[in-house]
Chains A and B, each alone.
Chain A
């Protein structure tokens, strides 16, 4: 059999041909371009037009962008350096970037906001990246909310300790009462006890202890000196950090079977969502001034933080309610079938799934809130945009627009883009489906 063809076939290949590289016109950048940009004359035409457009834009922008004006000390000097050419005036950024970042915070104390930011990242680590940080760091995360105001505003270290003590008092009252009455009443009494402590006693005790044991006391910095990105980040982080838990509680309250709780939550959410943030800020800055007894010193930044937090909470509640509604009924029934009580069911079964569903919405709300902090310039707080206006009011820089806005926009982009990337990472990590 084997030599059937021995006479009829002249040549028989005995080895396989070496596998050859595909032609360079099919693979690599050229191949990619051919299959994506130039397949057919229509696409080639569109590609050509787009390229021309991009080049046109860049030819206008790049010379403007790369202009040798970094050391200029005024707009006039920029114009002299450029000598009639179009170009950016980056001297304003060199002279004012610290002010844009820190506002009017005393320059010898810049280490405090910087340290706060670093500690914030450390505190966020174990919360955001559970795989890479030891769980013990969570204790630090819990302490950070008390540390942050102390570092930023200064004062005696006893103040944050006393504020934290309020939570401890509330907790002990709650535990003690739980043995006597039901959870709702003990929670209420515990909250009242903590609030009484904060409003009436904490300051007194702080002053008392601080005069006897003056531990670490930082130089106080008044709120008025806060400005620039420091102000935006402080307000944004507080609002983001507080709005998530408040939002969860509101969302649960809105789905509650108790008519009073439900009514309160619905009223709150619908009222806050029905009012623009600017209105709330005006309430904080203007109306509260009128209604509070004269002489009350209720810090303006604190007022703004509370308003922005309430605003963000209402939106957060609706986002989380969306997640709750998306959960199949079977999950609730399964939790009931396992005999879990309400809180256990929420903690172990409902919330982990509902929050996972809501991640994109939650992060959108975060990003929105962070950008909304620029609205505070309307009530006279000097946020980055307000500061841009104040910088332009300097005769040296009057008339500089794009450079400042580009700088501010770039910094905001870094913050918002990081948040968005993190949410995508989290979604991938929590992906448990099989598709």
Chain B
């Protein structure tokens, strides 16, 4: 009941804002800054450093869009949002784009009136156990105590998984990831379950990460993507193709290091030429500079560079590319052609 009222209110907000803020691009250009909604802090995805500068994988998307639209990757106003305030902030126009680890679901797309512009990270719910438990598959977890964040989709996924496999578990409800970490280390639960990226980040903070293992089963689909308001397709196009440009840049080997060189003169590859604006007029089609993609790639590098710098295998979080590899490497990243 409460939830439906809340969602209803959000819907009204979405409608009102959709009508009012039809030209986000003009607003952003007039303001000279992109208002970008991020988390209040999530390891690897968005966090302020000691000087208050925001860094992270989601932050990289903000900077790329700002660079594409305004030509300046620092022209971003970061608005920290919580899981509860994020959708209203977007619907009411307080922010222009929300790259905040948000799972693309039917109801969010359709009922809440948002447009997901793509997926920047394919996540899924996993399990972490101490190695001394001697478990190698989630299906062996019969009778285990599980630390689980209450009120999240992970809770429902967990119940589904155990019911389908006809095994039992005992939930240990917890509120935050911080609490989960403490409880799990103290042995209050055998298993900790949340998104696999979160598990990796949590495991990285342990004193002896080697004593803990993430089980191979991924029991849910959590495609995390940036979203914008319904009803402003021009703005959604800009956001979508900026993300696509980062992905395509990796596919074609365009990096922040060589983008200037490749953009200085047309290359042999027409796809790169169209992407970097040395051939065709793609930028002008949605009202941006011809070098919009060059600016976006220079902001923080292509998709692969962003991934490696913030959450990749050389960072403490150490996530493998997995599903987030290019389709040519067996992953799911596949951008439509720039033509």
Contacts and interface: CB of A to CB of B under 8 A. Distances in A.
B93 A390 contact: no
Interface stretch (A130-138, A189-197, A379-387): A379-387
Contacts of B40: 377, 380, 382, 386, 389-390
B219 interface: no
B50 A289 contact: no
B88 A79 contact: no
B92 A96 contact: no
A416 B300 CA distance: 45
B204 interface: yes
A104 to B, nearest CB: 4
Interface string A361-401: 00000000000000001111110001001111111001101
Given A294-B92, A378-B84, A393-B41, A99 B181 contact: no
A382 B182 contact: no
Contact of B79 (A103, A224, A389): A224
B182 A289 contact: no
Q: Which of A225, A389, A391 has the most CB of B within 10 A?
A: A389
B94 interface: yes
A394 B204 contact: no
B204 A286 contact: no
Which of A96, A389, A392, A395 has most chain B Cβ within 10 Å?
A395
Nearest to B17: A294
Interface string B272-283: 000000000000
B84 A289 contact: no
B52 A399 contact: no
Interface of A, secondary structure class, is helix
Nearest to A82: B207
B21 interface: yes
Contact of B88 (A96, A222, A286, A393): A286
Contacts of B91: 289-290
B48 to A, nearest CB: 5
A286 B5 CA distance: 13
B50 A290 contact: no
A389 B46 CA distance: 11
B205 A399 contact: yes
Contacts of B41: 386, 389-393
B316 interface: yes
B181 to A, nearest CB: 7
B317 to A, nearest CB: 7
Contacts of B21: 294-295
B61 to A, nearest CB: 16
Interface in B68-119: 77-82, 84-85, 88-89, 91-94
Contact of A290 (B12, B56, B81, B178): B12
Interface residues of B, number: 47
A389 B178 contact: yes
A380 B93 CA distance: 16
B17 A398 contact: no
Contacts of B89: 289, 380
Nearest to B80: A380
Contacts of A392: 41, 43, 178
A118 to B, nearest CB: 24
| Contact count band on A | 35 or more
Contacts of B317: 395
Contacts of A222: 77
A339 B42 CA distance: 67
A268 interface: no
Nearest to B205: A399
A186 interface: no
A295 B178 contact: no
A88 to B, nearest CB: 14
Interface in B147-186: 178, 181-182
B77 A224 contact: yes
Contacts of B51: 107
B133 interface: no
B44 interface: yes
Contacts of B45: 393
Nearest to A381: B80
A69 interface: no
A243 interface: no
A95 B85 CA distance: 29
Given A75-B205, A389-B178, A379 B85 contact: yes
| A-B complex: 7 closest residue pairs judged by Cβ atoms | A399-B205, A393-B41, A393-B47, A390-B41, A294-B20, A289-B92, A104-B52
Given A79-B207, A295-B93, A380-B85, 5 more contacts: A99-B52, A224-B79, A294-B21, A391-B47, A393-B47
Interface of A: 75-76, 79, 95-96, 99, 103-104, 107, 222, 224-225, 282, 285-287, 289-290, 294-295, 377-382, 386, 389-395, 398-399, 401
Interface of B: 9, 12-13, 16-17, 20-21, 39-52, 56, 77-82, 84-85, 88-89, 91-94, 178, 181-182, 201, 204-207, 315-317
15 contacts: A99-B52, A104-B52, A282-B84, A289-B13, A289-B94, A294-B93, A380-B81, A382-B80, A386-B80, A390-B41, A392-B41, A393-B43, A395-B43, A398-B205, A401-B182
